[in-house]
Amino acid sequence: MLNVGPWNRLPLTIRWLEREYECDFILKPPLHMEIVSGHVQLPKSQATRPKNGEEPPKAIWATECHLCMHRIEDPDRSRIGCINSLCKLTCHIICLANYILSSDENNRGHYIPIAGECPLCEEKFTWVALLQRKRKIQQSGVEHIEEDDEYGDDSDISVSKSDSECESAESKKNTEFDKFDFMETSVLDGANIQNISGDQHEIYELSD
């Protein structure tokens, strides 16, 4: 049954509760299914707690999906990243799933990927590993949001009120200089207008 759809695509864990009955399968189960043995002893209330000495996973998120370039409006439900902690991949779950499924002809017609490769850092992963990491990040609350600046690089945006006022004044100042450099200069000496053309601008001189 483990090799027949739809079960052969599910991220199942095969557990032998009694080691004395453990044996090899006649047909090998899919590679993405983990085989373990022994009783489940961890209480449900402690299942989400990190192990001793284990640091919670950290994530660096962008504000937009790297695949569809649209803003992620509901991060808790639809945002997913890479298992590589140094990778800044930020995607909608459905966008990443469609990307993985479309990259392999064997996955055509399916809705849930089994495994794939990060479109940003090319790290290989299983789909269940991505979902497990997503859950751990949400539970730990260790997240860092980065936004793209005007040069396209990811950087933190932190502008104080005084900095904003300075930038606004500087922008206004530059605008006034731009107007002065490219404006048309008129010298009023009378009623008749004589056009004197220059390289950068035109000078109009009025004479009697």
pLDDT: which is higher, 3 or 101: 101
CA distances to 6, 61, 67, 99, 127 from 94, rounded to whole Å, are: 19, 17, 10, 8, 12
The class of domain 57-145 in CATH terms is: alpha beta
The reported pLDDT for the residue numbered 208 is 46
What SS3 class is residue 101? helix
pLDDT: which is higher, 139 or 88: 88
Range(s) for CATH 3.30.40.10 in the chain? 57-145
In tens, the pLDDT along 155-166 reads 333 333 334 444
Give which of 167, 99, 160 is closest to 130, Cα–Cα.
Answer: 99
Helices assigned H by DSSP within the chain:
75-78, 93-102, 127-140, 161-182
Q: Tell me which DSSP letter residue 57 carries.
A: P
The reported pLDDT for the residue numbered 173 is 42
Do the Cβ atoms of 126 and 32 come closer than 8 Å?
A: yes
Average pLDDT over residues 189-199: 42
- Is 80 exceeded by the pLDDT of residue 206? no
- Is 70 exceeded by the pLDDT of residue 29? yes
- Give the whole-angstrom CA distance, residue 7 versus residue 168: 60
- Give the whole-angstrom CA distance, residue 32 versus residue 126: 7
Residue 170's φ and ψ, nearest 5 degrees, are -65, -40
In tens, the pLDDT along 166-181 reads 444 444 444 444 443 4
The reported pLDDT for the residue numbered 142 is 58
